[in-house]
């Protein structure tokens, strides 16, 4: 298993959008629009691949104005939940963020994912809020 950056508007990016759509959007009866994707040109698209070079996980890193980087759109193929893919991918994305000079990772975690992020040393900030119709918490971790 390995992770690598995915260039915007490439076949690999199209595959990543397909996986995000399948795992994150369709279950909520949402869809991507061209204008949604156009806003991602300056974000870091990060994919996790298996030994056959199949995309099995994806996340996006969005630089923030305050020097932090926001992790978003985290998804691991359903048949691999609980197999360490998400943990590996998050740790690799943290390493990349540090290499790029970021000192803090922030995210909006679905309530059901909070225990996963807590195991990775993220801490909850503030109260529960709703995003895309689901309960979320803001979380953060100091990097480096």
Residue length, the chain?
144
27-to-31, 45, 80, 132, 133 alpha-carbon distances in Å:
10, 21, 17, 11, 12
* Segment holding 63, helix H or strand E: strand 55-63
Q: How far is CA 90 from CA 28, 45, 115, in A?
A: 23, 12, 14
96 within 8 A of 5, measured Cβ to Cβ: yes
Q: For residue 141, count other CB atoms closer than 10 A to its CB.
A: 18
Query: What whole-number distance in Å separates Cα of residue 141 and Cα of residue 144?
Result: 10
Q: For 43-82, how does the pLDDT look when each residue is reduced to its tens digit (9 = 90+)? A: 999 999 999 999 999 999 999 988 899 999 899 987 777 7
Alpha-carbon torsion (128, 138, 13, 9), positive or negative: positive
> Which element (helix H / strand E) includes 46?
strand 44-49
pTM of the model: 0.86
The SS3 call for residue 9 is coil
pLDDT tens-digit profile of 8-54?
A: 888 998 888 877 888 766 666 767 666 776 677 889 999 999 999 99
Domains of the chain: residue spans and CATH: 2-104 (3.40.630.30)
């Amino acid at each position: 298993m390995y992770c690598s950056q995915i260039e915007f508007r490439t076949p690999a990016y199209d595959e990543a959008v397909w996986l995000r759509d399948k795992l994150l959007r369709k279950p909520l009866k949402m869809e991507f629009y061209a204008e949604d994707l156009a806003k991602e040109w300056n974000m870091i698209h990060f994919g996790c691949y298996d030994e056959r070079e199949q995309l099995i996980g994806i996340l996006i890193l969005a630089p923030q104005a305050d020097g932090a980087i926001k992790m978003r759109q985290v998804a691991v193929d359903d048949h691999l939940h609980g197999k360490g893919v998400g943990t590996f991918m998050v740790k690799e994305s943290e390493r990349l963020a540090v290499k790029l000079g970021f000192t803090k990772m922030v995210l909006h975690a679905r309530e059901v994912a909070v225990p996963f992020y807590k195991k990775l040393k993220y801490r909850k900030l503030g109260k529960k809020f709703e995003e895309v119709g689901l309960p979320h918490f803001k979380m953060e971790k100091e990097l480096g």
